[in-house]
Structure 1
């Protein structure tokens, strides 16, 4: 085997050198030899590949037959932040919360680390660095989207989330983001205003709506008072919950943060207010089987939704030089996109003025 690390990624072409050959070489250097079958999976932020491995030569420690390799976007997370994600996932798996932990990696038997240019980080090592890439590898764990219209499914997911939070409350992230108000979103708004990406005719109305919406967010957070913050999934929408005959399991803790419990519940709600009320009741019926839920946090659902709306636009803008993003979001530079965002923010201002959901 010959390790051939590609040049370090750069902002305009962050994944240009990550060819199938480079992916297989990277896994090979980390002791996981692919058999040539590789499939790129959907992911905007990182690059994720399903790779079939050759059969293990060690019958006492067989490797999984198929793995998922995640190559992290350069500059987004530090090594310490990535390793905190890995340790949290490992803690969940150790507590028998269905999550897919990263594999422990090793330098391939036929390579010397200094010759291969590979570095392994973590204890045990779960992240590798080769050339310009940082990556982790986990076993493939399939599933389908959960049926969120089914109350029993929601109850099951609620129990699952409570168990995740019981692990999450045992410690706090030291290096990852803390979700406790509008500060990060305000910084994103200012970055967008300074970036010249917005059409001039749309800038004033959108900026004004953002500031008003974020003021309303701060009012709701101030009314709540001190938050119980813990390690949470952070991006718990239906696409990150896979369902099997054994129930749900979580994938993709890339956005794990310190935050309130309700952040992991509200993205599973949909429909009109009456429908969301019923869904929330089912989730909490399951959740409170294992862990008490602070009902005051329900007043933070619309503020948290508002923060996500603002940050989503900033996320697209920060990635605009990545060729994948103009293809995925073709209307982003048009006045109609920003007019729609402005309307949505006005709707959020009204929603935050209403009584919160009850359960």
Structure 2
């Protein structure tokens, strides 16, 4: 689903996601906001390195191509310039800073050998237009001294990517022994837990085998995940002993509304010598992936908000689960 904004009279408006699925819906939304617009012309900068490379978006095919570029180039949003005539150049000059897809400010986040940069929202007063002598993309950067030549990665506000990198860094630090581990209470996961595929209305089963690799026995040990409300009692485990537990994990569709995969972390806990419950080592991670059917139903809900989720699930099952999203959309539209 694309994040689409349009600029008219130097004002920026966001198109609701349910209306951003096709060009006609976008145009109708614009006209509903500005009733005085009889004819609407839409323009977008396709190549930020060439300021004269402005494309008029006239057909659904061109709109689809623009959405493809949006995903490929990881633009924060698609910005469309709205005009009443095809003489867009003077309007474009006034609205350049708002329309340019590549306008970002980058700030230094760390001095590691691989510095990571994250885009910052730009205030309109900071935006700059291309000068007559330079038609390339204007990018304003907060420059800071950096003696080391570093690679720059634009996160584009990708929370999953940031968490993924943080996990890699944490694991590397632990592998190098830079964190003092509690040798008294710890465990070892004997094999990797496979990826689980969630199915709506059904529970998933995860089998976990762990060994008490610490110096003390476990008393009143348990596996715990507060998010899922799971508390699996293990009881007492001797030093060096291996145990296998089987846990039923509920499939919660709401956990996958904005992501296809989710990681659930289970803590191993036990009583210490002070009769206090404490966590052992790092949590056990169980990865769950949403089924393609659930993803399709979620997309159909966004496109057809008037239809109930249960009805869409039944519709997909009735028409066959091996069709593409576009095929389901065409069938639903033909039935209106």
Greater RCO, 1 or 2 (C-alpha within 8 Å, sep 6+):
1
Larger Rg: 2
Kindly indicate which of the two structures has a greater share of residues assigned to helix: 1
Please report the TM-score for the alignment, with normalisation by the length of structure 2. Answer: 0.26
More strand by share: 2
TM-score, structure 1 as length reference: 0.24
